[in-house]
Structure 1
Amino acid sequence: MKLKSLVLTAAALMLGVGVAQADIKKVRIGTEGAYPPFNSVDSTGQLVGFDIDIAKAMCEKMKVECTFVAQDWDGIIPALLAKKFDAIVASMSITDERKEKVAFTIPYYLTPGNFIAPKNTTLTDISPAGLKGKTIGAQSSTTGSVYLEDKYKDSEIKLYQTQDEANADLAAGRLDAVLADKFVLYEWLEKTDAGKCCKFIGPDLADVNPQGTGIALRKEDNELREMFNKAIKEIVADGTYKKINAKYFPFDIY
């Protein structure tokens, strides 16, 4: 009798897990929509970009129906916690501070930080001493803005709601330099007319985003987090990730 009871209990537990997994059929994904080439809004009003394509590929692996919600960056974590959506796929760098509020998947890409400046700049030293007294821009509430405020205390730091606004002020001559993720800056420099004004200065700064970029979820949503973790590994293993990567960049970002 005891053995039979144990078998029945185990079967019930397995059934319970199956039911829980089957319950996740729809996932709402929050993204910024103002961070090309990772996420932006096209001329038809649709969200597009690397983050969107990667998210769709993961949703296909997870066999769930995904919908996308555009959300301003500064309010994106509060909106997740308020259950406006279930996951953030928006090039969010994994940081210890953010881990206090949300849970992260394994990284789905790695990116260093970089400075850009006007092509006619005489700046070559990007250390805090080298940029003393200079005006530097960054998008607010990003690892770049935190990095600047922590290390460049003798520079004037100007923060912007979007990366595009920071880039525009640099192009207009109102900034000496901008700090952001290398791949976002590469897109602007290489693929826009406005970006022709400027160039990278200094080496890659790996310590701007040392933990990589992950998908943020509410801490209690462990099952969904593991589903995303599994999906990331699967799209890397079967070549899907490589195809999406090649669509946006001539170099590997994973």
Structure 2
Amino acid sequence: MKIRKLIAASLFACVAAGVADAQERPTHLKIGTSLTQMPWGFYDEDQKPTGVDVALCGAIAQQIGATAEFISLDFKGLIPALQAGRFDMVCAAMYITPEREKTIAMVPYIKASQTVVTKKTSTIEGLDGLCGHSVSVLQGSGSLKVLQQTSATCEAGGKPAVTIQAFDTQPVAIRALENDSVDGFIATDALISFYMTKNDSLKKVATGISPNLLGIGFQTENASLAKLVAESLATMKANGSYDAILKKWGIESAALDAK
């Protein structure tokens, strides 16, 4: 219920703001993303951008009547680059948080939660089992915040803190677990599930953590584009193209209206 209310409030705010800030439809959109996050965004064998975010935001641009150009940066640099005007919007599996909404506008487009994975030989169980262990994570991500909160809870309960190792890209963070440099790795469930299809030496030890919405980001003064994107998402949900994209990537359960 909380997520549904947040979806409605976010969409209403974007549409209402856009009415007062109308502009001509763009014909070309520069979209900031981080092409190091399977299945959200990555390069295919031909070095072309692909993934959930590329497919969804590319389709949104097409629905608006614009071409899409994806610009890849490290995740932590996306919001500063958006604010500097390097691109028109950010589409990169980014959690909607009160802190982010103080600096950018966000339109919800997918539901997400966090998952912790370890080697199958690990004895770690549950989120509280991370106390005293090392865990890798993407720098600047919602997963990092979850890990910081978990570590604080460990210490408040008289247990050792979590040793957090934050990396600039997901592949490097994952590799730290593969190389036994850390005991665990945390990311969105979709990313973990996709990655585990390629590596059978891992197991999930905690899932469904911190369920929230992922949002497409915009400069706060660009309410008209946020409105167009919200309207395009609504159209795509009505005509089935939104659900078709999620189904292709095996994350139907992440749809905004999925139960």
TM-score, shorter chain, exceeding 0.5: yes
> What corresponds to 1:144 in structure 2?
143
3-state DSSP class of the match of 1:149? helix
CA distance in 1, matches of 2:252, 2:111: 12
TM-score, length of structure 1 as denominator length: 0.85
CA distance in 1, matches of 2:251, 2:52: 13
Matches within 5 A, 1:71-150: 71-105=73-107, 107-127=108-128, 130-150=129-149
CA distance in 2, matches of 1:149, 1:126: 12
> What corresponds to 1:43 in structure 2?
45
> What corresponds to 2:180 in structure 1?
173
> What corresponds to 1:3 in structure 2?
none
3-state DSSP class of the match of 2:127? coil
CA distance in 2, matches of 1:202, 1:41: 29
Identity %, equivalent residues? 23
Pairs aligned (count): 228
| Structure 2, unaligned runs of 5 or more | 1-18, 153-160
The one of the two structures with greater contact order (alpha-carbon pairs below 8 A, sep at least 6) is 2
User: CA, structure 1 residues 23+63, in 2 after alignment: closer, same or farther (shift >3 Å)?
Assistant: closer
Cα deviation code 1:75-117 (max 9, x no counterpart): 1111111111000011111111111111101x11101101101
CA distance in 2, matches of 1:166, 1:60: 33
CA distance in 2, matches of 1:46, 1:131: 37
3-state DSSP class of the match of 1:24? coil
Q: CA deviation at 1:250?
A: 5.7
CA distance in 2, matches of 1:250, 1:83: 31
CA distance in 1, matches of 2:248, 2:126: 33
Q: CA deviation at 1:45?
A: 2.2
TM-score, length of structure 2 as denominator length: 0.83
Cα deviation code 1:50-97 (max 9, x no counterpart): 101101211121112222211221211111111110000111111111
Q: CA deviation at 1:23?
A: 5.0
Please say which structure displays the higher CA radius of gyration: 1
